[in-house]
Structure formats: structure tokens, C-alpha cells
Amino acid sequence: MATVVTETRRGAAIPACLFAWLLPGAGHLYLKRTVKGLVFLGAIGTLFALGVAMDARLQMSLGLDDILASLFSLAQMAIGAPYFAARAMGFEAGQVTSVTHEYGNTFTAVGGLLNILVILDAYDTAVGRKP
Amino acid sequence: MASHLVVLLIFSALVSGVFAMLLRDDTGSRLRFAAMAFGAFVLSAVVVGWIMHPFPS
């Protein structure tokens, strides 16, 4: 019986991680951890939305010519669909002359980095390591 | 959103809340952890800002 439960949970781990990446908190909502999921969705979603409102740069920069810019882009992309939606809506370039530009960059990157921790938490929850 | 202090308070509150949900399992300890982390964020930013004040920009 324990083996069946473990296998069922392992089966839920991949979709939970995928949902968690696509939308902050969605992995926990999928795993029926409603309060956690809503807090993650609210907090990380607000971080990202405020970052975009503060003129963050969302340009994709992947490659080895500028490692820091690539890491920054990866951090922002970790927030999933909101990043690509904001780019599609025209918030890609940001506004470097804005007084809050660097704050916006920090908010969006930290939101993505926190979402990586949330994805790992969803995995741990799915396989039974966390309640 | 021109006030740097307001930005600091919002950032600290949101990040503290996420860390509390990730690192603690019951409501009471989550609230305590979030309050402690929020205080640590704000206090450390103010202290570091105060230490950096004599340096030119």
C-alpha cells in the first residue's frame, strides 16, 4: 500500500513542478495545498507585477557573452507564464531612465528566484517529504 | 512608487511571507518567522544604508 501511495505521489511530482513553473502557486493548488498556493500566487505575482510596473527590463539574454545578463534572464524566466505574457504585452524593454528601473529588475528577478524555491517545495510535497 | 522606503517595506513583506510559507509548517510559527524576517530585512537595509552614508555616490 505504501508503495502504491509513493508511486502515485511521484506521478504527481512532474505535473506539480510544471504547473508551479507556469504560474507561481499553481503546483500547490494542484496538490490541494490551497492556502500555500494562494499565498505564493499572491506574493510572487505581486512582486512580478510591481517589478513590471516599476519599468523592469524583461529582455531575453541567453548566451555566454554576458553571463550575468544570462543569469538575470534565467531568474526572470523562472516565474513562467507571467514573464512571457508581460513580454508579449510590450513590457519587454522597460525604461532605463526611470528612477525605479533597478528596483523593478530586482523585484522581477527575486520573484523568479523565489518561484524556483516554490517549484522545489511542490516537488517535496508531491513525493511526501513535506506535509 | 517613488518612495524608496515604501519599496523596501513592500519587498520585505512579500519575500518574508514566501519564506515563512516555505520554511515553517504551522500558522503561528509562520507568522513569527515572517515578522522576524521582515524586521531583519528592514533593519539590515537601514543599518547598511546608514553605514554607507559617508561614502560619496
Q: What's the confidence (pLDDT) of residue B25?
A: 92
Statement: residue A125 has pLDDT above 90 = yes
Q: How many Å apart are CA B38 and CA B8, to the nearest integer?
A: 10
Q: Is the pLDDT of residue A9 over 80?
A: no
Written as nine digits, the cell of A39 is 499565498
CB pairs < 8 Å spanning A and B = 42
Domain ranges (residues) in chain A: 2-126
**Chain B, window 15-54: residues with a beta carbon less than 8 angstroms from a chain A beta carbon:** 15, 17-18, 21-22, 25
Residue B2: pLDDT band by 50, 70, 90 thresholds? Answer: low
CB contact under 8 A, B21 and A39: yes
Query: Which residues of chain A make contact with B10, given a CB cutoff of 8 A?
Result: 50
Cβ of A110 within 8 Å of Cβ of B1? The answer is no
pLDDT given for residue A13 in this prediction: 93
Query: In this predicted model, what pLDDT tens digit does every residue of A66-95 receive, in sequence order?
Result: 999 999 999 999 999 999 999 999 998 888
What burial letters (b/e) apply to A87-116, b meaning 16+ CB within 10 Å?
Answer: beeebeebeeeeebbebbbbbbbbbbbbbe
Interface of A with B in 16-55 (CB under 8 A): 36, 39-40, 43-44, 46-47, 50, 53-54
Q: Do B21 and A36 touch (CB under 8 A)?
A: yes
| Domain ranges across chain B | 4-52
What CA–CA distance (Å, rounded) separates B43 from B53? 15
Whether this model's ipTM surpasses 0.90 comes out as no
